């Protein structure tokens, strides 16, 4: 019997694509629109991808200490809830829809926004606040989540993320 020495099968952990970079622009402040960017950022970091998040306009709510833990979800303007749109405008409906969504997210062990941001920062992700949004709302770095590295202009962000793949959410 002849034996042939074959190379062992060992997973490739992506050493073949070093230097991959991802830039995510978070522009929405609704609870349901906060998660996609954060989940993708977390996933990218777990795959060894350098990841930068830029929080702008309503996305600023995600890093504003006063609002980041209280993002809301509304049925209004969202036909994917498959409920009559008129219901969404009734008093208390946004609070109820928000409560339901938070519960569904917690049930699958996905953390709340502040905790997920912390996890992203701990994984080496970079969080940036948008200069124009800060100026419009008269907010400074002290008003933002501690892990936000700085408030920077749009051009600074473009410069920092040269060569990156980009997601606008």
Partner 1 sequence: MPTTTIDGHRIQVDAEGFLTDPMEWTEDLAKVLAAQIGIELADEHWKAIRFVRQDFADQGETATLRRVSVVGEIPTKTLFALFPQKPAKKLAYVAGLPKPRGCV
Torsion of CA 55, 61, 66, 72, to 10 degrees: -150
Q: Is beta strand 165-168 parallel, antiparallel or unpaired with respect to 148-152?
A: unpaired
> Tokens 């709340």 belong to which residue?
112
Shortest Å, Cβ 162 to partner 1: 21
CB 70 within 8 A of CB 142: no
CB 67 within 8 A of CB 143: no
Give the orientation angle of helix 113-122 with respect to helix 31-46, to 10 degrees. 20
Looking only at residues 31 through 50 of this chain, which bind partner 1 when binding is defined by CB under 8 A? 39, 42-43, 46-48
Looking only at residues 108 through 137 of this chain, which bind partner 1 when binding is defined by CB under 8 A? 108-111, 116, 119, 122-124
The footprint of partner 1 on this chain (CB under 8 A) covers a number of residues equal to 23
Q: Does 9 bind partner 1 (CB under 8 A)?
A: yes
Segment contacting partner 1 by CB under 8 A, of 2-10, 73-81, 96-104, 151-159: 2-10
Shortest Å, Cβ 122 to partner 1: 4
Helical (H) or strand (E) element with 117: helix 113-122
Shortest Å, Cβ 145 to partner 1: 16
Applying CB under 8 A, which residues contact partner 1?
A: 6, 8-14, 39, 42-43, 46-48, 108-111, 116, 119, 122-124
């Amino acid at each position: 019997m002849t034996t042939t020495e074959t190379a062992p099968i060992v997973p490739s952990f992506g050493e073949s694509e070093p230097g991959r970079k991802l830039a995510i622009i978070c522009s929405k402040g609704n609870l349901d629109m906060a998660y996609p960017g954060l989940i993708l950022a977390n996933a990218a970091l777990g795959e060894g991808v350098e990841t930068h998040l830029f929080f702008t306009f309503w996305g600023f709510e995600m890093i504003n200490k006063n609002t980041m833990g209280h993002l809301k979800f509304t049925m209004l303007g969202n036909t994917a809830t498959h409920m009559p749109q008129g219901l969404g405008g009734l008093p208390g409906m946004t609070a109820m829809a928000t409560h339901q969504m938070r519960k569904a997210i917690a049930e699958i062990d996905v953390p709340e926004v502040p905790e997920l941001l912390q996890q992203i920062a701990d994984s080496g992700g970079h969080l940036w606040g948008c200069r124009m949004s800060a100026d419009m709302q008269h907010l400074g770095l002290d008003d933002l989540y501690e892990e936000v590295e700085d408030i920077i202009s749009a051009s600074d962000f473009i410069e920092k993320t040269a060569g990156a793949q980009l997601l606008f959410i």
